[in-house]
């Protein structure tokens, strides 16, 4: 795959508003699926599908802690994505009100 194809594929992934929002949130902090579900007010299967696409595209990585999966950015080899994220407003305000313990999901 050429570098141009790689960039085009990554930009296609970020062309979806939910995926772009997820990547922007992960720039703030690592999140588990239940937190992303709460923040975006959508279903767990929907978020899992977005996360699979982002993982397969090499934009995020996952780590398991017990039965819960946590996601973080994996952009060391994609500085062009980091440049794009600099232009996107911080999503910290969306993340702050979410307290995972209230969902009894990943504690």
pTM tops 0.85, yes or no:
yes
| Helix 33-40 vs helix 17-28: crossing angle, to nearest 10 | 120
Residue 106 lies in a domain: no
Residue 105 lies in a domain: no
**Residue 90: which CATH number?**
1.10.10.10
Q: What is the pLDDT of residue 107?
A: 55
Q: Is 80 helix (H, G, I), strand (E, B) or coil?
A: helix
Indicate the pLDDT class of residue 102, thresholds 50, 70 and 90.
very low
Domain of residue 26 covers 3-98
Q: Where is pLDDT greater, at 50 or 98?
A: 50
Residue 91 lies in a domain: yes
pLDDT tens column, 31-72: 999 999 999 999 999 999 999 999 999 999 999 988 888 999
Residue 45 lies in a domain: yes
Residue 103 lies in a domain: no
Residue 44 lies in a domain: yes
Residue 30 lies in a domain: yes
Residue 100 has pLDDT above 90, yes or no: no
Q: Is 57 helix (H, G, I), strand (E, B) or coil?
A: coil
Residue 104 lies in a domain: no
Q: What is the pLDDT of residue 88?
A: 93
Q: How many domains does the chain have?
A: 1
């Amino acid at each position: 795959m050429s570098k141009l194809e790689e960039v085009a594929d990554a930009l296609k992934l970020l062309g979806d508003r939910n995926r772009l929002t997820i990547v922007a949130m992960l720039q703030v902090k690592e999140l588990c699926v239940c937190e992303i579900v709460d923040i975006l007010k959508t279903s767990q299967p929907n978020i899992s599908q977005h996360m699979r696409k982002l993982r397969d595209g090499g934009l995020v990585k996952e780590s398991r802690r017990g039965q819960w999966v946590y996601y973080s950015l994996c952009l060391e080899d994609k500085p062009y994505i980091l440049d794009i994220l600099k232009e996107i407003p911080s999503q910290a305000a969306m993340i702050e009100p979410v307290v995972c313990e209230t969902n009894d999901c990943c504690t």
